[in-house]
A and B are shown apart, each in its own frame.
Chain A
Amino acid sequence: MNAGARAEGGARSFIVRVLRQDRPGSEAYWESHSVVHEPDMNVISVLQRIAEQARTVEGKRVAPVVWECNCLEEVCGACTMIINGRVRQACTALVDRLLEERPGAIELRPMTKFPVLRDLLVDRTRIFAALHKVKAWVPVDSYHHMGPGPRRSQDEQQMAYHYSKCMSCGCCLEACPQFLKIELTRGRDESAEAFRARCFAAYDRSFMGAHAIAQVELFNQNPIGKMSARERLDALTSEGGIQNCGNAQNCVKVCPKDIPLTRAIALAGRHATLHALRNWFDR
């Protein structure tokens, strides 16, 4: 294409090391690609060049590296991967900055806490299973006109805005020492539905993670969401709930959206304890 033309006037190239995997459960292996430097590249455009070339530095023809992306402006979370050892989105990882940090080469790996489907593409179902478990939505299951909702203070709106920025990318889970990988394999005689149910059951029993805890706080503060607060707190105090947090506080440091996750965890911890006491004494 026009890569060569753009690179005229000092065609610098750099190496991209990618940890590849052909299929779920198969052996991962490193592969190096050489990419010609262009101005204002991000990791997505690097991956596009690699797909175009489909050729390693040794000149071997290979299948294009698979990755996932969508919005290209850090609001969907789909392109989350480990870039130069740091979990982040590929779309906002700028090549010039990466090469400043580590000259000459960029290293790409899939997230380690989720099952790899292929190359840099992982199965993030567990993130959404946790949101499902804590009922991270406002139940407005009616087609009647219900009139305007209650007024909310500026402070409340501000806090809710912070929590609502979550894009379910998985950075907080990747960095969390209490969130461990779950990778199940489908049995030979197992139907797709049965396998999915088994995965969800396993996800439900394991730590839900910081993102889901913050969403409990978001929806339990919402005037309408509040009506199912007890169900969310039941989920929060069940197996795999907030009690698994070890206060390493890595989540808040790696969150690309600067969500106050540790504040959410502390508040949710308070609410969870009060809920458990209420359940104990009022039942």
Chain B
Amino acid sequence: MNASAASVFGQNEFVLRRWHSLTGLLPIGAFLCFHLATNASILDGPELFQRRVGQIHSLGATTLVPLEWAFIFLPILFHGVIGLIIVSRGQRNVHLYPYATNWRYTLQRWSGVVAFLFIIWHVLHMHGWVHLPWWTEHVAAPLGGARFDPENVLTAATAIQASPLVFAVYLVGVLACVYHFTHGLWTMGITWGVWTSPRSQRTANILILGFGCIVALMGLGALIGMQVQDTKAGSAQSAPAAPLEEGR
């Protein structure tokens, strides 16, 4: 970072760090929970998952595109860039002070970097970053991206089943996101002065650990659900033909 950018960051350090903290929960953390819960619904069968995806996409591009940029992409980019600056300004010392909270601090930095890189790749892989025909055709698709077709949810399962490496990347990426979000929730409670005493911080930590396990299970459910789908049977146009009408 050059000197003038550093001084702009420095002058607004408090406000930027508070926004960084807030965006981690709203909207990013809330979206993460919603996203994993939606994807875990594939465990109830591809038809139901297709219906939920259909409901989201029934909003239409004019609503969906501003929503995803304002409440998902831009907050994640902001949180990620500020986060990288934070990581670059710390000096991890868990080898000298191997306390549990110091391990969690260190893991928070690692999981943040892993999650940010994973999300950038994941959005390319499934979504393609930008939905413009020439971009999708000439840039995203040749790079192995834009694999998800909201009209045929089994395309997501196909993309994940493409190789064990893809599955492994998703496993690490999702767990990094879940850890970063839930531990971030705990530090957020300290940053904003919600839990202040060591005792309340311990209690909050236990409750958040339970919550984190539930979110992690949703993530694992979604991934395993994708991995076990029979994509050959559903890859024909039959599944998405009438998603909204198909009841179960």
Q: Give me the interface of A with B, judged by CB distance under 8 Å.
A: 85, 175, 177-178, 180, 205, 237-250, 252-254, 260, 262-263, 265-273, 276
Contacts and interface: CB of A to CB of B under 8 A. Distances in A.
Given A247-B190, A266-B190, A260 B198 contact: yes
Nearest to A274: B193
A266 B200 CA distance: 11
Contacts of B187: 246-247
30 contacts: A85-B96, A175-B93, A175-B96, A177-B102, A177-B105, A180-B89, A205-B10, A238-B14, A239-B10, A242-B14, A244-B89, A245-B191, A246-B86, A246-B90, A246-B108, A246-B187, A247-B101, A249-B101, A250-B97, A252-B198, A253-B99, A262-B190, A262-B198, A263-B198, A266-B195, A269-B191, A269-B192, A269-B193, A271-B193, A273-B18
Contacts of A266: 190-191, 193, 195-197, 201
B14 A241 contact: yes
A269 B102 CA distance: 19
Contacts of A245: 191
B91 A177 contact: yes
- List 7 tightest A-B contacts by C-beta distance, closest first: A270-B193, A248-B105, A243-B17, A266-B196, A249-B101, A239-B10, A237-B14
A273 B197 CA distance: 18
B11 interface: yes
B35 interface: no
B230 interface: no
B13 interface: yes
Interface string B187-209: 10011111111100100000000
B196 to A, nearest CB: 4
Contact of B192 (A246, A248, A249, A270): A270
Contacts of A262: 190, 198, 201
Secondary structure dominating the interface of A? helix
A254 B15 CA distance: 30
Nearest to A266: B196
Given A243-B18, A262-B201, A180 B91 contact: yes
Contacts of A276: 14-15, 18
A272 B190 CA distance: 12
A265 B201 CA distance: 12
Contacts of B92: 177
Given A180-B91, A243-B14, A243-B18, A273 B105 contact: no
